[in-house]
């Protein structure tokens, strides 16, 4: 049960998501019906991997058929992913909680699918139930951190920012303790934490965290890594979004974004959406700096 609602009685089951997909522009009946074929393929391939004891790699690859196309390697999205997430959960829900297919993977795919279809409150119930189960059955620290990270994202989506911040602190601390400061997951969760700190206007803490982790990320990942671009934009935001920022802070934000945009254009090309986002941040930061540098007209406060 999730939040007191029995899964089998959910209004938003996968049959309803398929019906919604049929009516959705750009999806249609053909794509929706293809979902039925996809879920049957996923069931068969995973059953074969288990029956033949093919090992963890085959186990994981076959299970990924529930959320990833085997041809183009792209993940499904929207109502299609939601439908497959529900079908995946209903396929394995009868297994023991300690079974990895049920207690870890299927429920994760269900939560992801609900989020993809913007059923965020339902996704929240699923994530909270999953974390509670993980703690009860004594799951590994890594498994619990993955679930906590997903739950922090969902808290943010439903507007519970303080709970998201608290959980992001726990996740960053957990990865730091397990893997050290140079681990990709540690760096990624540091960036997520800094972003949430900015959202709640804890700018000093966000700046301090980014100044600590960005040199590490630059050394480990290199300037052209996706995460470096994201970290640079978060750091710049911690400078120019702060009403107490000095002129030096604002100039540093603009310089940081100019350098980041230049590198991103070289790596991805001018048409990449990441480049567009950085350039928009640069436009905003320049406007803030310009407003601060321009003296107020006489008679204006």
pLDDT attached to residue 297: 53
Per residue in 19-51, pLDDT (tens digit) is: 555 555 444 445 445 555 555 555 555 555 555
pLDDT tens digits for 155-175? 999 999 999 999 999 999 999
The answer to whether residues 189 and 234 touch, using CB atoms and an 8 Å cutoff, is no
Chain centre to alpha carbon of residue 79: 18
What's the pLDDT at 95? 86
Q: What pTM was estimated for this model as a whole?
A: 0.79
Q: Which residues does residue 68 pair with via DSSP β-bridges, in sequence order?
A: 75
Q: Is the pLDDT higher at 31 or at 290?
A: 290
pLDDT at 34: 54
Q: Identify the pLDDT of residue 104.
A: 85
Whether 3 contacts 125, CB under 8 Å: yes
- CA 3 – CA 131 distance, rounded (Å): 13
Residues 27, 28, 32: CA angle, nearest 5 degrees: 85
Q: Which long-range contacts (CB under 8 A, 24 or more apart) does 286-292 make?
A: 286/254, 288/240, 288/250, 288/253, 289/240, 289/247, 289/250, 289/251, 289/253, 289/254, 292/247, 292/250
């Amino acid at each position: 049960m999730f939040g007191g609602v029995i899964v089998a009685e959910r209004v938003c089951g996968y049959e309803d998501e398929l019906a919604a997909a049929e009516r959705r522009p750009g999806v249609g009946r053909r794509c929706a019906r293809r979902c039925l074929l996809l879920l049957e393929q996923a069931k068969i391939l995973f059953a074969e991997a288990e029956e033949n004891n093919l090992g963890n790699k085959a186990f994981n690859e076959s299970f990924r058929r529930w959320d990833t196309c085997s041809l183009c390697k792209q993940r499904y999205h929207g109502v299609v992913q939601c439908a497959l997430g529900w079908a995946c959960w209903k396929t394995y829900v009868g297994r023991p909680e300690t079974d990895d297919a049920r207690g870890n993977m299927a429920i994760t795919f269900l939560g992801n699918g609900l989020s993809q279809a913007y059923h965020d409150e339902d996704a929240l119930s699923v994530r909270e139930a999953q974390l509670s189960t993980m703690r009860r059955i004594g799951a590994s620290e890594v498994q619990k951190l993955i679930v906590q990270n997903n739950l922090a994202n969902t808290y943010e989506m439903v507007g519970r920012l303080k709970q998201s911040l608290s959980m992001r602190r726990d996740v960053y601390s957990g990865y730091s303790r397990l893997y050290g400061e140079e681990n990709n997951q540690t760096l990624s969760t540091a960036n997520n934490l800094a972003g949430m700190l900015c959202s709640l206007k804890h700018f000093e803490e966000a700046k301090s965290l980014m100044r600590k982790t960005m040199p590490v990320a630059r050394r480990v990942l290199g300037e052209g890594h996706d995460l470096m671009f994201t970290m640079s934009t978060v750091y710049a935001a911690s400078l120019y979004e702060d009403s107490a920022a000095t002129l030096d802070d604002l100039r540093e934000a603009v310089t940081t974004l100019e350098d980041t945009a230049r590198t991103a254009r070289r790596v991805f090309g001018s048409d990449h959406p990441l480049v567009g986002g950085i350039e928009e941040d640069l436009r905003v930061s320049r406007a803030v700096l310009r407003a601060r540098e321009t003296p107020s007209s006489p008679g204006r406060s």
